[in-house]
C-alpha cells in the first residue's frame, strides 16, 4: 500500500444556472496514494472533470476539504494556490493547449520561468523532459509543425519539467488517433512506473483506463465504484533524472 498523497473529504460542488442550483459533486470522499495511476471515469455530467479540477487546485469546492500531503488546498489564497500549482501540479489537457507562437522548447520552459532556475539549468531540465517524451529533435518546432501526438508529448514534457508531485490529465487521448493515443498512454504508464509519478486521469476511453492501476467511477456526482484493476507495485526508478529536480 502506498502512502496517502491526496485526501478528498466530503467535497460538495454546486453551480448556479440562473436560479437553478446544480449539485455536481455530492460529498465525495477519496484517498489517492503516492505513485498511483488513477483513472476517473463516468458519463458526461458525472462530475469527474470537476473533481479533477478541484484536486488540481484550479477550482474551489462549495464545501469539504482537499489535502495534498499536508496542504489544505481548499483554504489557500488565490496567489498561494497559484504558487502551489506551479510546484506540485503538471497539467495534460485534451487539446494540448500549447502556446502557438512558442516553440516546443519554449512551451516546455514556461513553468520553469516561475522557478529561480537560471537559463542553463532551465535548458537542462527542458532537454531532459523532451528527451523523456522522445522529442529531443523537435525542440525548435512550433506546435503547428507537429502532429497531434507530438503536441501532446510536448504538453506532457511541459507537465513533467518541474518534477511535480501530481500529474493531472484531462482526456489526454481524446483528440488523438489510435496510434498516437497508444504512444501517449505508454508514456504516461512509463512516467508512473519508472518515475513514480502520481497520475490522476479523466477518460472516457476504456483502453486508456486499462493503463491505470486504479479505476474510480462517478455518476451524478457520487462515487459509485473504486477498484484496483492491477495491484502491482511500482518498479524502482531506472532513471532518476527528474527526481533530482530543482530545489526552490
Partner 1 sequence: MGSFLKALDAPDPAETRGMFRIVTRHKVGLTSDLPLSYAQRIRQLDGALGVTTFDWFGGSYIDNSARNFFARFAVEPETFLQVFDDARVTRGSIEDWMSDRAGALVGEDLIKKFGWKLGDQVVLVGDIYPVTLQLTIRAVYGVSYGGSDGLFFNRKYLEQALPSFEGTVGTIWIKCADAEAANRLSDEIDRIFDNSPYPTKTESEKAFQMSFVSMLGNVKLLLTSLGVIIVLVIVLIAANTMALSARERVREVAVLRALGYTRRMILMLILGESLMLSLIGGFLGLSTFIIGLEPLKVSLMNTPISGFASAIMLFPEVLLMGFGVTLFVGLISGIGPAIRASQRPITEGLRHMG
* Per-position DSSP letters for 72-119, written without gaps between them: EGGG--HHHHHHHHHHHEEEE-TT----TTS-HHHHHHGGGGGSS--H
* Among 83, 127, 189, 194, contact with partner 1 (rule: CB under 8 A): 83
* Contact predicate 134/153, CB 8 Å: yes
The nearest distance, CB 87 to partner 1, in angstroms, is 7
Per CB under 8 A, the segment of 32-40, 86-94, 186-194, 211-219 that binds partner 1 is: 86-94
What is the side-by-side strand order in the sheet with 63-68? 20-33, 4-17, 63-68, 71-72
Question: Is 85 a binder of partner 1 (CB under 8 A)?
Answer: yes
Per CB under 8 A, the segment of 50-58, 143-151, 174-182, 211-219 that binds partner 1 is: 50-58
Question: Is 56 a binder of partner 1 (CB under 8 A)?
Answer: yes
* Among 70, 79, 232, 236, contact with partner 1 (rule: CB under 8 A): 79
77 vs 236, which CB is nearer to partner 1?
A: 77
58 vs 241, which CB is nearer to partner 1?
A: 58
Residue located via cell numbers 487539446: 95
CA distance 149 to 133: 11
Amino acid at each position: 500500500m502506498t502512502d496517502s498523497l491526496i485526501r478528498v473529504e466530503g467535497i460538495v460542488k454546486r453551480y448556479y444556472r440562473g436560479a437553478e442550483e446544480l449539485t455536481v459533486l455530492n460529498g465525495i470522499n477519496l484517498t489517492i496514494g503516492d505513485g498511483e495511476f488513477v483513472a476517473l471515469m463516468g458519463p458526461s455530467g458525472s462530475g469527474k472533470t470537476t473533481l479533477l479540477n478541484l484536486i488540481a487546485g484550479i477550482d474551489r469546492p462549495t464545501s469539504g476539504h482537499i489535502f495534498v500531503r499536508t496542504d489544505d488546498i481548499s483554504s489557500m489564497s488565490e496567489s498561494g494556490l497559484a504558487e502551489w500549482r506551479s510546484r506540485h501540479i503538471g497539467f495534460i489537457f485534451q487539446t494540448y493547449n500549447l502556446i502557438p507562437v512558442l516553440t516546443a522548447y519554449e512551451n516546455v520552459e514556461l513553468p520553469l520561468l516561475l522557478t529561480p532556475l537560471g537559463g542553463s539549468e532551465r535548458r537542462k531540465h527542458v532537454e531532459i523532459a523532451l528527451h523523456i517524451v522522445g522529442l529531443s529533435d523537435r525542440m525548435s518546432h512550433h506546435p503547428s509543425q507537429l502532429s497531434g501526438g507530438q503536441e501532446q508529448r510536448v504538453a506532457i514534457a511541459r507537465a513533467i519539467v518541474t518534477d511535480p508531485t501530481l500529474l493531472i490529465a484531462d482526456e489526454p487521448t481524446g483528440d488523438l488517433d489510435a496510434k498516437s493515443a497508444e504512444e501517449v498512454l505508454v508514456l504516461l504508464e512509463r512516467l508512473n512506473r519508472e518515475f513514480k509519478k502520481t497520475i490522476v486521469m479523466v477518460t472516457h476511453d476504456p483502453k486508456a483506463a486499462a493503463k491505470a492501476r486504479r479505476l474510480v467511477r462517478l455518476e451524478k456526482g457520487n462515487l459509485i465504484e473504486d477498484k484496483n484493476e492491477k495491484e502491482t507495485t511500482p518498479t524502482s526508478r531506472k532513471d532518476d533524472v527528474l527526481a533530482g529536480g530543482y530545489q526552490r
